[in-house]
Amino acid sequence: MNAAVRELAITGAAGNLGRAVLAELLRRGERPLALTRDPGAVRVAAPAGVEVRAADFAEPGGTAAALGGVRRLLLVSTNRSPERLGLHRAAIGAAVAAGVEHLVYTSVVRAADPGNPVAEATDHGATERLLRESGLAHTVLRFNVWPEMLVLSRLAHRAVATGRLPSAAGEGRTGFVTRADTAGVAAAVLADGLPTGTAPTSAPASAPAQHVLNVTGAGLTDREVAEALASATGRPVRHVPVPDDRVAAELTALGLAAPMARGWGENDPARRAGWFDVPEDATAARLLGRPLTPLVEFFAAHRAELTT
């Protein structure tokens, strides 16, 4: 490899997903370039030999310079904010300016479906459009919901402590997929691309390759999520159906912080309507070299913290 050419780079290296992808790439023997707004934090955590460069998408010129020589880039989507789409536009522009050959983007399931009511999906759908218009060869990884959010929000803890999992998701199914699994898939796609034979989604043969991969677990109703919690912890937990306008209050009463309760509950109508129930794609497990982690196993791995 030409010393000036870095095969792989990831953005957001200080974030939850970025850190996990970086660790996964290192485990695979890769030495990716790590881009972040906080090089000091990443350098402390990264082993010797990992090059860390500063990149803030709010400064596209600096981001393009930091991407110099990179062939394949993982663009970790930034968090929901009024600035997010502009930041993604700048990052894609910087990748084009720097001559990146392939960009992998972390999106959400059904991001491009018309009428998607999930607030989180709007920026992702628009970013996917920007990617198609950019002329860059790219792969979109559409993640389903991380069960880590059930732990971080403390919803899982409180459900185990009280025996109640309130929601308005009804019989809607959500295909939870662990953050670790999504990081493993992202690392594999960045390093090796999709398995040979995966059909591109781009129409004309002359267009750069565009692929979309759903990274999702088996769809589970909240009754089944409660059963998984009970089975993993040995404590009784049952799903408690509540109307849409009561979800946030129920979750707050359960002990969740108000913003967390609002944030988690806001997707219940969409979960009930099936927006998080997408077909599994065996490609994700092939890329990982193992099955995706079942929800009950994820909870079992957190048994100690869920029961204290």
Tell me how many degrees the CA angle 262-109-154 measures, rounded to the nearest 5: 35
Q: Which of 30, 51, 56, 224 binds ligand NAP (CB under 6 A)?
A: 56
Task: Select from 6, 8, 45, 41 the least CA-distant residue to 25.
Answer: 8
Helix/strand/coil for 306: helix
Report in angstroms how near the CB of residue 236 gets to ligand NAP at its nearest. Answer: 27
Please, which residue, 207 or 297, has the CB nearer to ligand NAP?
A: 297
Q: DSSP letter at 280?
A: -
Report in angstroms how near the CB of residue 260 gets to ligand NAP at its nearest. Answer: 12
Q: Which residues pair with 108 in a beta bridge?
A: 143
DSSP 3-state helix, strand, coil percentages of the chain (rounded to 5)?
45, 15, 40
Of residues 75 through 94, those in contact with ligand NAP by CB under 6 A are: 76-80, 87
Supply 70's token pair.
């990179």
In the block, residue with structure tokens 């970025």 = 18
Q: Which of 6, 9, 12, 121 binds ligand NAP (CB under 6 A)?
A: 12
- Residues 147-186, mask of contacts with ligand NAP (x by CB under 6 A): --x-------------------------------------
Radius of gyration of the chain (CA): 20
- Residues 263-282, mask of contacts with ligand NAP (x by CB under 6 A): --------------------
What is the number of the residue whose Cβ is closest to ligand NAP? 12
- Residues 23-52, mask of contacts with ligand NAP (x by CB under 6 A): -------------xxx--------------
Task: Select from 73, 71, 66 the least CA-distant residue to 51.
Answer: 66
Tallying the residues shown for the chain, one arrives at 308
In the block, residue with structure tokens 């992998």 = 104
- How many amino acids of this chain bind ligand NAP (CB under 6 A)? 25
Q: Where do contacts with ligand NAP occur on this chain (CB under 6 A)?
A: 11-18, 36-38, 56-58, 76-80, 87, 106, 143, 145-146, 149
